[in-house]
Amino acid sequence: MNIPDTTHVLSPDELDLLELHLGGGTDTFGISGGAPEGSVTLTDAENTPLAVLEGGRATAVKPFARAAGPHWDPALRRPADTVAHEIRREVGPEADVLAVVVDEPATHDELTALETLVADHAAVIVLVPASRRAPTPGDLGAPGLTRVGAVVRDAVAERTSVPVLCVVVPWAHDAGLRWDDVAVRHGADHVVRLADHRRATTSERLARLGSLWSDEVAALYPPPVARDVVDATRGARRQGTVVFFTGLSGSGKSTVAQALAAELDDEGRHTTLLDGDAVRQHLSKGLGFDKASRELNVERIGYVASLVAYHGGVAVAAPIAPFASGRARVRELAEAAGRFVLVHVSTPLEVCEARDRKGLYAKARAGEIPDFTGISSPYEVPTDADLVIDTSVTSVEDAVARVRVELDRE
């Protein structure tokens, strides 16, 4: 009996695990709930097929979409088997290679400990875990950790003349991954976690950081006054913002939005990403693609984004939002809660169609998808955009930088 193929939309953790697996970082790959019999097409939140899973092993279909930021630098984010081949070609199969895991900001203690840690090794690989999942508030995200990894790499290079690599590793925190196994697949013989070489006194000082301010307030003010000062400070918040990207399918709006959200979140801006396809799977599940349904989808996104802004956060939304009336409603909701920035990603239709990672334009041209924006349904070009970006001539990094300049005008 032939078992029909099924499709599974990958969570952020599963995307990280799949990327690691396809690069040779793990033997097998599994999905939440267990894979059914037969083959499973694995897609991202935009329904782009990335790989086919069968028998616990995945085969790549398309490359992963890349975003901006140091953790996406192709010189650092490389497959495990490529890294292992390179390091072994340089030092030989029998040489002793050390992997140093950097999963926390490195203090002076750890940098001092490097002198002893890297001694007597033929090469050193600095491994930095990078998760697509947003970090816990107060924790350093993937961009920051990658910068820390570069600092550690340079510190190692100052202390030894052996080859030193810094490698960003896609990391799924709840997938049962072990650094011992992952390090071996990157070509290492031994692995150390740098934060384990922190002195107890330093750990105690770090643990006290969160209470230093409140302790000083308690020392400076009488108790009733101190309580009011603490409450007032906790209640203070910066103005919330909705950054709303609009543009054709394939214009690059999601890529820029994801990169912007990651950068802002890494800076502690409490950022929520509301991407068009992901919202369709959850907030607007069951809606069609006729004009009324599209307008309702955009209004729902606008409502959730306005709640984020009201509470002082940054909401980054990236639907197609083809109609001026829908965008106007989002502006109304957002400006009642905070600030609204409209970004029109104006990439030409022919460029979007040439990209067509999901094959949607081809289906629309063939009449298989009705009401497809840009083909059989209109896109009303914004006349009120705060920023216009064409990703066919602007890199993701420059696009994010331009949005940041607009945000800094507040």
> Are residues 390 and 346 in contact, defined by beta-carbon separation less than 8 angstroms?
yes
- The answer to whether residue 101 is domain-embedded is yes
Indicate if 222 and 251 belong to the same structural domain: no
Q: What is the band of 4 on the pLDDT scale with cuts at 50, 70, 90? A: very low
Residue finishing a domain among 60, 83, 106: 60
250 has binding-site annotation: yes
The model's pTM is 0.78
Residue finishing a domain among 185, 208, 235: 235
Indicate if 193 and 181 belong to the same structural domain: yes
- The answer to whether residue 1 is domain-embedded is no
131 has binding-site annotation: no
> Rounded distance, CA 134 to CA 141, Å?
7
Residues 207-262 have pLDDT tens digits of 888 778 888 888 988 888 888 887 777 656 678 999 999 999 999 998 899 899 98
Question: Does residue 54 surpass a pLDDT of 50?
Answer: yes
Indicate if 178 and 100 belong to the same structural domain: yes
Burial of 142 (0-12, 13-18, 19+ CB in 10 A): buried
> Rounded distance, CA 42 to CA 280, Å?
18
- The answer to whether residue 274 is domain-embedded is yes
11 has binding-site annotation: no
Query: Across residues 350-367, what is the average pLDDT?
Result: 88
Indicate if 390 and 256 belong to the same structural domain: yes
- The answer to whether residue 330 is domain-embedded is yes
Indicate if 322 and 375 belong to the same structural domain: yes
* Residues recorded for the chain: 410
Question: Does residue 327 surpass a pLDDT of 50?
Answer: yes
- The answer to whether residue 81 is domain-embedded is yes
Q: What CATH number is given to the structural domain containing 344?
A: 3.40.50.300
What is the identity of the amino acid at 249? S
Q: 190 pairs with which residues across the strands?
A: 98
Indicate if 251 and 395 belong to the same structural domain: yes
Residue finishing a domain among 181, 209, 235: 235
What tokens does 270 get?
């409490």
Indicate if 255 and 215 belong to the same structural domain: no
359 has binding-site annotation: no
- The answer to whether residue 65 is domain-embedded is no
Indicate if 88 and 151 belong to the same structural domain: yes
248 has binding-site annotation: yes
What's the total number of domains in the chain?
4
Residues 376-404 have pLDDT tens digits of 899 999 999 999 999 999 999 999 999 99
288 has binding-site annotation: no
Q: 272 pairs with which residues across the strands?
A: 315
Indicate if 190 and 311 belong to the same structural domain: no
Indicate if 276 and 362 belong to the same structural domain: yes
Indicate if 36 and 23 belong to the same structural domain: yes
> Are residues 299 and 330 in contact, defined by beta-carbon separation less than 8 angstroms?
yes
Q: What CATH number is given to the structural domain containing 108?
A: 3.40.50.620
Contacts of 208 (CB under 8 A, 6+ apart): none
252 has binding-site annotation: yes
Residue 213 belongs to domain spanning: 200-235
346 has binding-site annotation: no
Question: Does residue 105 surpass a pLDDT of 60?
Answer: yes
> Are residues 52 and 39 in contact, defined by beta-carbon separation less than 8 angstroms?
yes
- The answer to whether residue 258 is domain-embedded is yes
Residues 109-168 have pLDDT tens digits of 999 999 899 988 999 999 999 998 877 767 788 888 999 999 999 999 998 899 999 999
- The answer to whether residue 402 is domain-embedded is yes
Query: Across residues 323-338, what is the average pLDDT?
Result: 94
Indicate if 264 and 391 belong to the same structural domain: yes
